[in-house]
């Protein structure tokens, strides 16, 4: 997450959606008073993948005028995003991840089964401010709505950039920041061997990632 309060710009970081590249594009232009979070616990109450509504609440409590801020986020084809997440965090048959206590590397969960039955936690205070249908019983905490929509389901972000449109993002940032911002592509993980999913899996993805599925024609 990056909050360029000096430029009235907030960049939310959505997991496995080019958020590291987005942060690296912004980093050379941080000014005193701006907020940069890369790891959990780095700053009290903040997290690199904090949700927009919770961050807005955090800033309001510290007397920042959130109405002046422009929120942006990057998104990705939801199947590609899930495939990247699955490869990187390697869920086991009990849906524990490499970052979870007790994770069992010897008992992996296959990708399609994980898409249909996997689950992810999300901080309670984030969940309370988001749409009611976001559930810790599936993978919807990774959705655009979970990261950037309020309890009414309305997105609070002003600009959504697709991962593959780095040039468009760099142009936007250059205009807002007032100096040239270069494209950065970090941790690229597109896999041409992306597996083909069956109808049940694709329907499940559509239900968990409605907006992203619509954007990418899932």
- Mean pLDDT for 42-62 is 95
Calculate ∠ Cα 185-191-192, nearest 5°: 120
- Mean pLDDT for 29-42 is 94
Residue 145: exposure state from Cβ atoms within 10 A (0-12, 13-18, ≥19): buried
Please write the tens of the pLDDT for every residue from 161-203.
Answer: 999 888 999 999 999 999 999 888 765 555 667 888 999 999 9
Residues in CB range of 100: below 8 A, 6 or more apart = none
For residue 85, give the 3-state DSSP assignment: helix
């Amino acid at each position: 997450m990056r909050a360029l309060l000096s430029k009235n710009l907030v960049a939310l970081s959505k997991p496995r959606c080019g958020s590291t590249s987005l942060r690296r594009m912004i980093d050379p232009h941080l000014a005193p008073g701006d907020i940069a979070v890369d790891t959990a616990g780095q700053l009290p109450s903040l997290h690199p993948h904090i949700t927009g509504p919770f961050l807005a609440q955090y800033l309001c409590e510290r007397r920042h005028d959130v109405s002046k801020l422009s929120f942006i986020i990057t998104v990705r084809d939801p199947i590609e995003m899930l495939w990247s997440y699955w490869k990187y965090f390697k869920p086991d048959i009990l849906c524990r991840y490499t970052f979870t206590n007790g994770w069992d590397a010897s008992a992996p969960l296959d990708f399609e089964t994980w898409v249909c039955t996997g689950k992810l936690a999300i901080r309670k205070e984030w969940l309370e401010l988001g749409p009611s249908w976001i559930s810790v019983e599936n993978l919807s905490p990774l959705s655009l709505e979970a990261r950037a929509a309020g309890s009414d389901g309305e997105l609070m972000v002003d600009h959504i950039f697709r991962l593959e449109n780095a040039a468009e993002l760099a142009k936007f940032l250059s205009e807002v920041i007032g100096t040239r911002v270069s494209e950065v592509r970090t941790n690229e993980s597109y896999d041409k061997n992306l597996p083909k999913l069956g109808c049940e899996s694709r329907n499940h993805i559509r239900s968990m990632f409605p907006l992203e599925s619509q954007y990418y024609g899932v």
